[in-house]
Amino acid sequence: MFLASCTIYSLTDFEEPAQPLHEIKIIKKKYDSPPLTRSELGTLIEMAVYNGQPEYYGDMILDRQSKKHKSKPVVFSHQVHRRYFTCNVCHTELEFSLSKGQTDITREDNLDGRYCGACHNGKFAFSTEFACDACHLDINPNEHRYPPRKARGDNVPLPQTSYGDHINWVKAINEGLILPERSLPGGSVTSSMPLPGYLEEPLYWTTAVPNIIVHFPHSEHVKWLDCSNCHPDLFSVKQAGTVAFDKESNLYGKFCGTCHMTVAFPMNGCSRCHPRVKNHIGKKP
């Protein structure tokens, strides 16, 4: 009750489809677990979503390898990179895992032109060989206490939101404010398959809560991702085939939460996926 009373709600960011919602085909999904109550959901959201400064949202502090080799931790900023490259470039072409700690990037890899070293070679971007301090910072790996990461050209103002990094990346790409590359020079083809026609329209499905539905546009996702980034490892290819797809698992970083709690807009931007649900902004600072 105390926490709930502290929350403030903003307007929604959902853009209404051309057809009224009640005329749209909604996939009926079955859920094993009962829905969360409003207060449980509020508590969970506040526990799980990012509450820090927007400039640091999506920053990864990598210290597994550096600790082993007694070097300083690495700060990787998704915000800096996603202006210039789609997710697909690093997470498919360069084999960066979607889960933190699974890639095992070594200095040897970088110097041999893999992972960071594929671009950070002194030609495409600053070199991993000499510009060590550009990424290795003398910081406590548990705190975002360093000047926010910036790259040249990051000054173009982008459309705002009220959660996560406070940037509406989808709007930014749709309005042509950013033009992220879909492939590295000399890289492979842009996508594994053009989006089939019937998937160009957004999908809608039911949640465990009556009257609340999910709006999912494939078309916005394939601007950044390839089919294979999500299928079949995160989501099965069968319609409504992904079981145990409930709010809690999403909030804890499964399914959509793989990206939408860490890099893409976090789940307090409720209205982005749930039409006519207000955003949950959380505690007033």
Partner 1 sequence: MKTTTATILVIGLLISFFISASIQNSTAMVKKSYQYGNIIMQRTASENGGGTVVFRHWTHRSKYTCRLCHVDLEFAQVAGESEILEEDNQAGRYCGTCHNGKEAFTIKSCTKCHAKDSAHLAQVLKEDKKAFFAFQKTMPRSRYGNKIDWMQAEGEGLIVLKDKLPGISLPQKNLVTNLRNEPLEPKLSGLPGIIFSHSKHVAWNGCGMCHPKPFKLVNGTTEISMQQIIDGNFCGRCHGTVAFQVNDCSLCHSEPVSL
Residues near partner 1, by CB under 8 A: 1-3, 36, 39-40, 43-44, 47-48, 92-93, 95, 97-99, 102, 112, 114, 188-189, 192-194, 196-199, 227-228, 231-234, 236-238, 241, 248-249, 252-254, 258
Distances (CA, A) of 127 to 136, 157, 176, 224: 13, 28, 29, 26
Q: How far is the CB of 184 from partner 1 (least distance, A)?
A: 11
Q: Is the dihedral of CA 27, 43, 272, 256 positive or negative?
A: negative
Say if CB 256 and CB 247 are below 8 A apart.
no
- Smallest gap, in angstroms, from Cβ of residue 146 to partner 1? 28
CB of 244 to partner 1, least distance (A): 8
Shortest CB 139 distance to partner 1, Å: 27
End-to-end Cα separation, the chain, in angstroms: 18
CA distances 27 to 30, 196, 201, 206, 240, Å, are: 10, 18, 13, 6, 8
| Closer residue to partner 1, CB minimum distance, 105 or 167 | 105
What DSSP state is assigned to residue 94?
T
Give CA–CA dist 202/40, Å, rounded. Answer: 29
Q: Nearest approach, Cβ of 44 to partner 1 (angstroms)?
A: 6
- Residue 167 or 259: the one with the smaller Cβ distance to partner 1 is 259
Matching residue, tokens 């499964």: 254
Residues 6+ apart with CB under 8 A from 5: none
Tokens in use for 155?
């000054």
Q: How far is the CB of 258 from partner 1 (least distance, A)?
A: 8
Q: Which is nearer to partner 1, 66 or 92 (CB)?
A: 92
- Minimum distance from residue 248 beta carbon to partner 1 (Å): 5
CB nearer partner 1, residue 126 or residue 255 = 255
Distance, C-alpha 195 to centroid of its chain: 20
Of 168 and 258, nearer to partner 1 (C-beta) is: 258
| Of 148 and 187, CB closest to partner 1 | 187
Q: Please list the alpha-helical segments (H only) found in the chain.
A: 2-6, 38-48, 64-68, 78-82, 87-88, 107-111, 169-174, 218-221, 227-230, 247-251, 257-260
Residue with smaller CB distance to partner 1, 21 or 243: 243
